[in-house]
Homo-oligomer: A and B are copies of this chain.
Amino acid sequence: MKPVTVGVLGLGTVGGGTVNVLKRNAGEIARRAGREIVVTRASARDLNRTRICATDGITLTADPFEIVNDPDIDVVVELIGGYDLAKQLVLTAIANGKHVVTANKALIALHGNEIFAEASKKGVMVLFEAAVAGGIPIIKAIREGLAGNRIKWLAGIINGTGNFILTEMRDKGRDFVDVLAEAQALGYAEADPTFDVEGIDAGHKLTILASIAFGIPLQFEKVFTEGITKITRLDVDYAEALGYRIKNLGIARKTEDGIELRVHPTLIPKRRLIANVDGVMNAVLVCGDAVGPTLYYGAGAGAEPTASAVVADLVDVVRAMTSDPENRVPHLAFQADAIADIPVLPVEQIKTAYYLRLTAEDKPGVLADVTRILAAHNISIEALIQKEPPQGETSVPIIMLTQLTLEKEMNAAIAAIEALTTVSGKVARIRLETLG
């Protein structure tokens, strides 16, 4: 089958990331989607700029209308941001019968109702997973994964810049203005940071989340927003002392009287998982009446995390375009004829770090014997605790953390250690993963 052709509007951070991910993972993506997905055209304001992606095979243009009007383009990916031009391009693409994938939260929050109405008339898809919380598939989770629930409320850290600033203020005792300047230098915050620090960006995203959670129209103009600019180190510290963290949350809650839509700095109990989401990371907590609280965590911005959501939407489009509609998503994610029989490793060939605990006589040379055995099996020690022997006992517990080790080597080392006359009983071993 011929590849699905994609035209990308905007080749900045997310556009470049999307081109890179589609190219790098082309094989895996085609195995999932059942068809190749190829970027054939892209638009950029400045055609001569250095980019994060290669553009070979892609016809570039400075005029994005050429792409939305190109009969050879199946799907338009809108990544230029902003309102008016983006809206015009998306509506033209829809009018031309093209499916649209967009990462533009402002566009969806403000003009989504109109855009979706046009898309429904033309029978085309408009997907926007990347518009909220970057790479976290939160739209899909709420719209499909929690479809059996009445959603009671949701609360999200959905602006990475704001979360980075609040995290730095707490961890390093720094002031708002100081951290904002750093965030700007790091590229986390725009030169004009209003959208991020005044809650506008989070308000756009909350508008979308609330709409799909409660089945209400998009209505950004009704969101209450309060920024984080007035948060002081003093308040961060007092909150901490009281057992709370200050996070900038977007909150949507259904009450008997109506729906609350609000973005503001919020004290939340430290023990909640979401209170421990730090730096530029995003997380959304969704509470359904059947499922209870669920949390979705990941990178909320950046070239490739956002591209991850854009490409997932493209795969959804392709699956809906080409698969048997009765069986849209392959049972095992990959098309049945694309399942690969990659070998599964026997446990002896697995590499992990280890926690080891053994009981040894408290006399010179014992530890040296143990470490000599480990070294002979290429096992490096990361940390070691040797306790004093308990009153009246002559043996001591030795606890070690090792670096990455082949399981086979560890088995042999443990057998050798257990054979030492100075070591009693079995060596307790638990594998260790940093999950970094």
Contacts and interface: CB of A to CB of B under 8 A. Distances in A.
Interface of A: 17, 21-22, 24-25, 28-29, 31-33, 112, 116-117, 119-120, 123-126, 129, 134-137, 140-150, 155, 211-219, 222, 224, 230-232, 234-235, 238-239, 241-242, 244, 246, 249, 251, 254-255, 257-262, 264-269, 272-274, 276-277, 283, 285, 288-299, 304-305, 307-312, 314-316, 320-321, 324-334, 336, 338-345, 347, 349-350, 355, 357, 383, 385, 397, 399, 401, 428, 430-435
Contacts of A239: 355, 430
Contacts of A264: 430-431
B435 A311 contact: no
How many monomers of this chain does the complex have? 2
Given A215-B339, A273-B297, A345-B257, A232 B148 contact: no
A116 B336 contact: yes
A431 B267 CA distance: 6
A147 B241 CA distance: 43
29 contacts: A28-B150, A31-B215, A116-B332, A124-B326, A135-B292, A137-B144, A143-B333, A145-B309, A146-B312, A148-B315, A212-B332, A224-B350, A231-B430, A255-B345, A258-B342, A258-B344, A258-B349, A259-B343, A260-B345, A268-B432, A268-B434, A285-B435, A291-B309, A292-B298, A292-B299, A294-B297, A294-B299, A295-B296, A328-B328
Contact of A135 (B120, B291, B324, B336): B291
A119 B337 CA distance: 14
A50 B218 CA distance: 45
A262 B385 CA distance: 28
Contacts of A276: 273, 276
A11 to B, nearest CB: 17
Contacts of A235: 355, 357, 428, 430
Nearest to A320: B328
A258 B340 CA distance: 11
Contacts of A292: 135, 298-299, 304-305
Given A264-B430, A291-B299, 4 more contacts: A21-B290, A212-B332, A216-B344, A295-B296
Given A148-B315, A355-B239, A267 B155 contact: no
A155 B295 contact: no
A287 to B, nearest CB: 8
B311 A261 contact: no
Contacts of A216: 339-342, 344
B137 A347 contact: no
B249 A433 contact: yes
A123 B323 CA distance: 11
A175 to B, nearest CB: 15
B148 A311 contact: yes
B135 A327 contact: no
Given A125-B327, A259-B345, A137 B145 contact: yes
Contacts of A135: 288, 290-292, 294
A351 to B, nearest CB: 8
A221 to B, nearest CB: 9
